């Protein structure tokens, strides 16, 4: 265990058989939606050489349950476009599925709350052992806009998301300086803002630091097929180096 914890909420593609029946799309349409929204290969990009104890990964597709969202739609801005913790709209606004409150609660109990319990436990254990926990909230995003974006202008190659009270200036500046030094274009809280903070620490424990990194997908994959391309190795190497920088910050 180290003070650094990598969070992977969106790279899974698994849709359990019982969940498939909820969707209103054809198999082909559902596959296209999954390709559009899944942060493919982020597990390999961000955790190369990392011990399993040092990362937490959602086990099912975000189309089933999105563990990055607030559980309460009233608190979750993305719910306004039908993309809260349980999506009911596609990326282009079409109906995705109709969930009764009971079915939603079932999905949350099965997939959302166990993920957050594991996240809480991992963070609390690091705080107890090291007095610090730094979360790298690991994402990618497409070149085309999503309805949950904050801005729709030119997309930076690297988006850095911050969370008030949990992303200190030293952490934000380290991320900005690191990626700019590697000659990436960088946006802060553009095109997405925020960073995952475990429920046990959110707004409560300033020793929990978090930063979200969004890698633009064309840097490492063919967005039309989901396959890695020649840029994957460089992107992976840079993110592995960034992990090392975060760990150095965590122990200072």
Beta-carbon contacts of residue 212 (< 8 Å; ≥ 6 apart): 137, 139, 159, 160, 161, 162, 163, 192, 194, 195, 196
% of the chain with per-residue pLDDT over 90? 93
Has residue 58 got a pLDDT over 70? yes
**Of residues 239 and 146, more confidently modeled:** 239
Assigned token pair, 252: 């200072």
Best CA proximity match to 7, nearest among 214, 164, 148: 214
Tokens of 89: 């709209």
Mean pLDDT, residues 215-239: 97
How buried is 199 (Cβ within 10 angstroms: 0-12 exposed, 13-18 middle, 19+ buried)? middle
Residue ranges per structural domain of the chain? 4-250
The CATH architecture one would assign to domain 4-250 is: 3-Layer(aba) Sandwich (3.40)
3-state secondary structure of 165: coil
State residue 147's pLDDT score: 81
> Which pLDDT does position 100 carry in this prediction?
96
Asked if residues 148 and 91 have their Cβ atoms less than 8 Å apart, the reply is no
Per-residue confidence (pLDDT) for residue 148, from 0 to 100:
78
Q: How many residues does the chain have?
A: 252
The pLDDT tens digits for 162-214 are 999 999 999 999 999 999 999 999 999 999 999 999 999 999 999 999 999 99
User: CA–CA separation, 252 vs 249, rounded Å?
Assistant: 5
Q: Is 135 helix (H, G, I), strand (E, B) or coil?
A: strand
pLDDT digits (tens, 9 = 90+) for 7-56: 999 999 999 999 999 999 999 999 999 999 999 999 999 999 999 999 99
């Amino acid at each position: 265990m180290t003070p650094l914890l990598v969070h992977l909420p969106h790279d899974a593609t698994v849709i359990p058989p019982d969940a498939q029946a909820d969707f209103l799309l054809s198999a082909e349409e559902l596959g296209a939606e999954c390709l559009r929204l899944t942060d493919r290969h982020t597990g390999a990009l961000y955790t190369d050489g990392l011990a399993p104890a040092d990362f937490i990964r959602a086990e099912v597709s975000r189309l089933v349950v999105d563990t990055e969202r607030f559980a309460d739609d009233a608190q979750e801005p993305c719910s306004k476009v039908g993309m809260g913790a349980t999506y009911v709209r596609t990326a282009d606004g079409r109906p995705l599925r109709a969930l009764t409150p009971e079915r939603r609660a079932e999905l949350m109990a099965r997939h959302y709350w166990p993920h957050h319990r594991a996240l809480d436990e991992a963070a609390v254990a690091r705080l107890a052992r090291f007095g610090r926990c730094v979360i790298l909230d690991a994402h990618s995003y497409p070149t085309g806009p999503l309805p949950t974006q904050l801005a729709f202008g030119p997309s930076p190659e690297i988006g850095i998301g911050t969370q008030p009270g949990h992303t200190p200036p030293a952490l934000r500046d380290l991320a900005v300086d690191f990626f700019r030094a590697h000659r990436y274009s960088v946006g802060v809280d553009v095109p997405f803002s925020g960073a995952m903070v475990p429920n046990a620490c959110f707004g409560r424990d300033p020793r929990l630091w978090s930063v979200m990194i969004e890698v633009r997908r064309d840097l490492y994959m063919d967005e039309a097929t989901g396959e890695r391309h020649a840029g994957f190795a460089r992107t992976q190497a840079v993110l592995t180096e960034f992990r090392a920088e975060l760990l150095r910050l965590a122990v200072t």
